[in-house]
Every structure is written in C-alpha cells, then in structure tokens.
C-alpha cells in the first residue's frame, strides 16, 4: 500500500467507498428458490413481501437507475430448477409488485429488469437424502448496488492493485493470476507385476494435471478480463469526459482510440468464445441456438484443455445489446442450456476422479454419486452477465462473448473488487492511522 493514493484531504477515497457501502443493499429471503410455474406463483407474494419489508426497514425505495445484482440461491430440495430458471423468476419478481403486497408499491426493487446491467447468479445445491422433506428449507440472498458504484469500485481496485505486489499471487484478490504448472512427465516405467496399479497412477496424474492447469487458466482468464473491464470503465468515467473537454483537439483522438482499444481487448480475449448474433425476433431463437452450439463446439475443439472440465466453472457473458435492447436474464436463459449440453460442466467433478483398482468402494463416495442423480450435476456453478454500452460502430444485432472462469469464490467480479478495496482501506488505516 502506498501512502500517496490515500494521502488526500479528509481521506477522500475512504469516504467515497463508505458512501458506496451505505448505498449497497443486502437482502435475504427465506423459502425454497422457485422457477416460474404453479409453485413459483404460490410463493411470489411472500417473496416480494420479504423484499419490501427489508427495504422499508432500511428506509429505501426501488432503484430508478442502472443496477448491479448478485443473486445467490441455496436450494435444499431434490431435483431443483436450473440456475437460469431460478434467476429468470426472481428478476421478474423484483420488478412490478403484486397487488397483494403491503404497502402497495408499484415496484419491488426496480421498475424494469432492463435496469440490470451487471448480473451475477450462483446456485448451491444442498439436497440431503437423509433429511426429511422441508426440514432444511432453502433461501436466497440479493446484493444490489447502483452501477455507478460498481464502476467506481472496479476502477479503484485496479488502481490499488498497481501498487500491490501481491495482488496477482493472493487468491483473495480479484486480480489473482497464478503461474501455470509445468507439463508433467508421464513416461512411466511400469513394473511388470503391478501394471493395473501403475496404470491408475498414470491416469490420476493426468487428471490431477488437468485439474491444476484448468484452475490456473480459469483464474488467469478472470484476472485478464477483469483488468480489461476496469480499463474500459475507466475510459468511460467522468474524468475521461472532462479530459476530452480540456484537451480538445490535441488529445481527443488519442483518448477515443484508447477507449476503443480497451473495449476491443476486452471483447477479443483469446480465451473468449465469439457467439452468434443475439436473437432479435421470435423466429431467430432456433437459428441462434444452432449457431451457438456450433461456436461452442468449435471453442472446445480449439482449446483441448476444456474438452473435459474437471473443476467447477463460472460462465461470463459480455453483451453489447441489440439496438432494441435485451434483458440480461434472457441471454442466459437461451445460452446456458446449450453451454451445459456442449461443455458438460460438473458441480462436483472431484467425485469423478480415477479411483485405485484394488481399493474398496467408499460408502460416502457412493452415496454422493447417488445424490448427484437427483441434482443438476451438469451445470455451471455460477454465471455473470455484463452489459457494455453500445457505440455507433456496433452491429444492429449486438455482440455476445462467452468466457469460462473460476467458480472457486462464488462471488462476482465487482463484489470481489469491493471487498479488495475494503481490505486495502483497512490496511491503510492500520499503516497510517
């Protein structure tokens, strides 16, 4: 931590961050997460009432501007809905309020779900075959922030990381970028009398190497894309706008080029998949799904490391919306089923690791595998959707990119950035206070 960033009158950055923290809403709703349908309709009023009660307790009103949402679903039931189905239902419930809720507000958390520009969704499937039905009901949590606060946190986090030599090596940092492992030498000299056991050792070494390498590559991809997003948001900030006004002709072209370059780098990372144009009319969905499948199969063929995913993953969608706009939840609703089918992510891939041939089956492992048959085993653990503002150069149908990232933290990039800034503030208080 360098003193220069914090050594400003009245601890400006600290006061700004605390103001953003005060504007952040943390909500918790009891009850098993539901999807649209009869069960979802029966619980919708109770869900909205819990949200409104917490808003009134905090003396808050619905958001009127762009919003960033973090949704965490904790389900305890057998055969729960898919992650994108849960998100779709809740995003609808957070809009228009049912006439039965008290007091009779028109909106719950926002007026329209198109206000959501940053969306993170995590799903924790905790069904216990030994527990009685209804014994441990599920719950949901929501963190809501104004988008302007998210942008400020991301920009400040990046600036602080420039002076933090450990940022790329600290797993708690949003900019964590681990070193890639060296390739293992698998040319094993197998003893003639125990080929089966040594064959398992070779198989497990391949599995372990893939697990370690995938973990490192996914973390590095997250760090690279987050850095690109921070740079892009920085170029969109009010400071940049003021510089354009001040520098005028001499630097106007340079700053505009910098803005376009950071945006291009964000959308063209080599570990992102360029997806087809977003559907704009009812009849476009089938063609979009078919083209999406082809693009994902091509992505997997170009990156053999991801042919078989042996770690839980998060999917990030970077979206430049079509001219007529696009709800972020609809992007995941259409794309995630194809992602699940083609990439086959697994929620607990460690259970699929090679087992010694001469070892007795472990009861806990057999029970865990049976449990997975009643869950969404082939699913991403989390996903996030980030909407980027359109420019005059964007195609009418918009732009869509997909990136695989680490699900290790079960947190959005912007939530990690906010925590990182708070940690650095605490460090500064201890160092300079």
Dig out the tokens for 345 from the structure. 């992510």
Q: What is the percent of the chain where pLDDT is above 90?
A: 46
Residue 56 falls inside a structural domain: yes
Give the span between the Cα atoms of 319 and 291, in whole angstroms: 17
Say what the pLDDT of residue 265 is. Answer: 59
Dig out the tokens for 268 from the structure. 């063209």
pLDDT at 276 exceeding the cut of 90: no
Which among 147, 148, 145 has a CA at the least distance from the CA of 27?
Answer: 145
374-425 confidence digits (pLDDT tens): 999 999 999 999 998 888 888 888 889 999 999 988 999 999 999 998 888 8
Band the pLDDT of 202: cuts 50, 70, 90. Answer: confident
335 within 8 A of 290, measured Cβ to Cβ:
no
Say what the pLDDT of residue 273 is. Answer: 86
Say what the pLDDT of residue 318 is. Answer: 92
Residue 327 falls inside a structural domain: yes
Find the length of the chain: 433
Say what the pLDDT of residue 181 is. Answer: 67
pLDDT at 232 exceeding the cut of 50: yes
Residue 413 falls inside a structural domain: yes
126-152 confidence digits (pLDDT tens): 998 887 665 678 999 999 999 999 999
Say what the pLDDT of residue 249 is. Answer: 46
Say what the pLDDT of residue 186 is. Answer: 45
DSSP 272-294: EEEPPPPP-STTHHHHHHHHHHH
Let me know if 165 is exposed, middle or buried by CB neighbors in 10 A (0-12, 13-18, 19+): exposed
Residue 189 falls inside a structural domain: no
Element (H, E) at 22: helix 12-23
pLDDT at 106 exceeding the cut of 90: yes
Say what the pLDDT of residue 160 is. Answer: 85
Say what the pLDDT of residue 49 is. Answer: 97
Strands (E), 220-262: none
**Residue 14, number of CB atoms within 10 A of its CB:** 16
Q: Which residues pair with 326 in a beta bridge?
A: none
Band the pLDDT of 251: cuts 50, 70, 90. Answer: very low
The whole-number average pLDDT for the span 30-44 is 94
Residue 140 falls inside a structural domain: yes
Q: What is the percent of the chain where pLDDT is above 70?
A: 82
Three-state SS at 74:
strand
Least confident of 242-256, 269-283, 308-322, 358-372: 242-256
pLDDT at 188 exceeding the cut of 50: no
pLDDT at 185 exceeding the cut of 50: no
Residue 26 falls inside a structural domain: yes
Contacts for 49 with CB less than 8 Å, ≥ 6 apart? 101, 102
Say what the pLDDT of residue 268 is. Answer: 67
Hunting for tokens 């970077």 — which residue is that?
318
Residue 192 falls inside a structural domain: no
Band the pLDDT of 237: cuts 50, 70, 90. Answer: low
Least confident of 51-55, 69-73, 183-187, 421-425: 183-187
- Classify residue 177 as left (phi > 0), alpha (psi -120 to 50) or beta: beta
Say what the pLDDT of residue 317 is. Answer: 94
Say what the pLDDT of residue 183 is. Answer: 54
pLDDT, the chain, mean? 83
208-220 confidence digits (pLDDT tens): 888 989 999 999 9
pLDDT at 255 exceeding the cut of 70: no
More confident residue, 246 or 271: 271
Give the span between the Cα atoms of 401 and 197, in whole angstroms: 44
Three-state SS at 96:
strand
CA terminus-to-terminus distance, the chain: 13
Give the span between the Cα atoms of 24 and 145, in whole angstroms: 5
> Cis peptide before 103, with omega less than 30 degrees from 0?
yes
pLDDT at 114 exceeding the cut of 80: yes
The whole-number average pLDDT for the span 350-372 is 86
Nearest-Å Rg of the Cα atoms of the chain is: 24
Element (H, E) at 318: strand 313-320
Q: How far is CA 38 from the centre of its chain?
A: 29
Give the span between the Cα atoms of 253 and 342, in whole angstroms: 43
Residue ranges making up the domain that contains 62: 3-183+197-432
Residue 188 falls inside a structural domain: no
Give the span between the Cα atoms of 430 and 410, in whole angstroms: 29
2-20 confidence digits (pLDDT tens): 444 444 444 667 788 888 8
Say what the pLDDT of residue 86 is. Answer: 97
52 within 8 A of 8, measured Cβ to Cβ:
no
pLDDT at 277 exceeding the cut of 80: no
Say what the pLDDT of residue 197 is. Answer: 57
Say what the pLDDT of residue 3 is. Answer: 44
Hunting for tokens 């309020």 — which residue is that?
97
Number of structural domains (the chain) is: 1
């Amino acid at each position: 931590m360098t003193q220069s960033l914090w050594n400003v009158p009245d601890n400006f950055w600290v006061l700004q961050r605390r103001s953003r923290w005060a504007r952040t809403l943390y909500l918790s709703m009891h009850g098993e997460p539901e999807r649209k349908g009869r069960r979802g309709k029966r619980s919708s009023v109770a869900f909205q009432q819990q949200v409104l009660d917490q808003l009134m307790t905090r003396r808050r009103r619905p958001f009127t501007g762009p919003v960033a949402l973090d949704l965490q679903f904790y389900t305890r039931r057998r055969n729960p809905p898919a992650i994108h189905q849960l998100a779709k239902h809740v995003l609808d419930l957070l809009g228009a309020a049912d006439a039965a809720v008290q007091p009779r507000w028109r909106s719950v958390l926002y007026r329209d779900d198109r206000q959501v520009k940053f969306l993170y969704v995590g799903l924790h499937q905790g069904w216990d075959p030994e527990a009685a039905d209804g014994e441990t009901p599920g719950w949901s949590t929501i963190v809501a922030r104004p988008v302007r606060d998210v942008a400020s946190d991301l920009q400040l986090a990046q600036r602080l990381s420039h002076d933090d030599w450990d940022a790329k090596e600290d797993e708690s940092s949003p900019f964590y970028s681990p070193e890639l492992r060296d390739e293992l030498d698998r040319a094993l000299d197998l003893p003639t009398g125990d080929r089966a056991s040594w064959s398992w050792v070779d198989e497990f070494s391949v599995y372990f190497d893939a697990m370690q390498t995938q973990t490192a590559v996914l973390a590095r991809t997250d760090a690279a894309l987050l850095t690109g997003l921070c740079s892009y948001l920085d170029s969109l900030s009010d400071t940049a706008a003021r510089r354009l006004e001040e520098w005028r002709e001499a630097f106007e072209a340079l700053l505009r080029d910098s803005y376009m370059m950071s945006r291009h780098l964000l959308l063209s990372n080599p570990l992102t998949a360029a997806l087809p144009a977003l559907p704009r009319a009812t009849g476009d969905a089938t063609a979009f799904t078919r083209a999406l499948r082809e693009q994902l199969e091509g992505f997997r063929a170009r990156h053999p490391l991801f042919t078989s995913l042996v770690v839980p993953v998060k999917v990030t969608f970077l979206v430049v919306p079509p001219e007529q706009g696009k709800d972020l939840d609809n992007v995941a609703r259409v794309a995630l089923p194809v992602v699940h089918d083609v990439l086959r992510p697994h929620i607990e891939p460690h259970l699929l690791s090679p087992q010694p041939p001469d070892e007795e089956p472990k009861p806990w492992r057999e029970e865990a595998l049976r449990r997975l048959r009643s869950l969404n085993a082939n699913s991403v653990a989390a996903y996030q959707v980030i909407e980027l503002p359109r420019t005059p150069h964007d195609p009418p149908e918009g732009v869509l990119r997909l990136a695989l990232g680490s699900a290790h933290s079960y947190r959005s990039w912007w939530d990690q950035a906010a925590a990182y800034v708070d940690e650095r503030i605490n460090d500064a208080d201890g160092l300079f206070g």
